[in-house]
Amino acid sequence: MALELKNLYDDFRDGETIKAYAEIIAKDAKKLKNPINIMEVCGGHTHTIMKFGLPQLMPDNINFIHGPGCPVCIMPKERIDHAYILAMQPDVILVTLGDMIKVPGSHGSLQDARAKGADVRFVYSPMECIKIAQDNLNKKVIFFAIGFETTTPMTAVLVEQVIKQKIPNILFHINHVTVPEVMVELIDSRDVHVDSYNNRIDAFLGPSHVSVISGSKIYDKFPKDYGRPVVVSGFEPVDVMQGISMIVKQFIEERCELEIQYKRVVNHEGNLNAQKLIDTYFEKIDLFRWRGLGNVPESGLKLKDEFAFLDAEVVYKNVLPLAEIEDHKLCICGDILRGMAKPPECTIFGTVCKPTTPIGSCMVSSEGACAAYYKYGNLL
C-alpha cells in the first residue's frame, strides 16, 4: 500500500487522543494554585488552536494568549511601502512570498501595484529568483525577503548563489526577524511607559519550525532568567495538547524548564549548517520595528556591510522613506500581536475588515490571528 501524506499526520489529529489529553489537562488543572496564561508565539499554532476548537477543551483556569508569530502580520507599514515603491521603479521586478501580495501599506498593496503595471511576482522558493533574473537580464530583480528563522536560510542560500554565480541583477530587501528578542520584549519591555504591555504571560508554547533551524537553545534564558517555562510544540492538535499538558505539569510540580514536545524534529542545537550560513551573510541590526510592538532591539537582520552592493535599501536609499507609519485608527492589530486583545474585540472585525477587504495585517495573512478567528470562529 502506497504511503499517502495523510498517513503522516492522521495520528496527530486523532479525536480520541485529543480528548484523552483534554481529560488529563482538566484533571491536572484542578491542582493549579492560580490560572495560567499560555502564549503560543507562532501563527501556525494559533490556526491549529482555532481550527480544532482547542479553547473549548480547556478548563476555565487555562487561557490562550495569541502572540506575534506571523512574519507578515508584524511588518510595519513603512516596510510594506518600501516593497510598493520598489515595485513601481522602472525596470524592476519585485519578488516575494505569497502572503505579502495583499498586505495594504499607505500607498496600497503589492496587488494594487501590479494592477498599475508593476511587475510583482510571488514565489514558493527564493531560488526561483535566479531563473527570473536570467530571463530578464535588462531588469533588476529585487527579492523582498520576509520571515523568522525558518525562512532565513533560504534567503542566505540565494545570496550565496548570487555571489558564486556572479548574477548581476538580483538585489535583496531583508526583513527577516528573530523570535527570542520579541519574546523578551513581551514579558520585560524596555519601554517603561507600557508596563510590558499589561499582559500576563505565564508560559510559552514555543514555535516548532523556528526551533528546527535555531534549536531549542534560543529559549534557555526564559526559564532561567524570566521564570517562564517554554515547551516547543509541533503544529498538529495532538502536539499542541501534549505541549499544554507538559506546561500544566510543570506548574503543578513547581518546575520551570525548557522542554521539547516536538522531539521528532527539534533538538537543542538545531541545524548548525543553516545557522552557519545565516551568520556568513547576515548580522543583527540595532532596532527593528515590529507592528504593534515598536522598535525591538536586535530582533532583525540585515546583510553584512561587505554585501551592501546587494542591498536594495542601500541601492535605492534615495527613494525609500524612513518615517514610521501608524496603523488605521480603528485597527487593533497591534494589541492583538502583543497579546492584549483578541480579534472579536475589534470593532471592525468581520464587518469592514475581513479576508476579502482586509484593513489590518492580522486579517490579510493566512497565519494571522484575525484570519484564524474569521475562518474558524464558529467553532468557539
**Could you give phi then psi for residue 293, rounded to 5 degrees?**
-115, -20
Strand 203-206 and strand 170-176: the pairing is unpaired
For the entire predicted model, the pTM comes to: 0.91
pLDDT the model gives residue 380 = 46
pLDDT the model gives residue 151 = 96
Q: DSSP readout, 133-145?
A: HHH-TTSEEEEEE
In angstroms, the CA 219 to CA 163 distance is 33
The HSE-up count of residue 314 (CA atoms within 13 Å, CB side) is: 13
pLDDT the model gives residue 4 = 61
In angstroms, the CA 287 to CA 308 distance is 18
pLDDT the model gives residue 189 = 67
* Residue 43: closest CA among 354, 379, 375: 375
pLDDT the model gives residue 195 = 43
**The three cell numbers locating residue 169:** 541583477
- The single residue listed with the C-alpha cell 483578541 is 342
Report CA torsion sign: 223, 244, 67, 154. Answer: positive
Interhelix angle 152-164/128-135, rounded to 10 degrees, is 40
Side chain identity at residue 337, one-letter code: L
Mean pLDDT of each 10-residue bin along the chain, 380 residues long: 62 93 98 96 93 95 90 91 98 92 88 96 96 98 97 98 98 97 84 52 95 98 97 97 98 98 97 98 96 89 98 98 88 82 92 87 83 78
pLDDT the model gives residue 72 = 87
pLDDT the model gives residue 196 = 46
pLDDT the model gives residue 198 = 56
Number of other residues whose CB lies within 10 A of the CB of residue 35: 13
Task: Assign 3-state DSSP to the chain and report helix, strand, coil percentages, each to 5.
Answer: 45, 20, 35
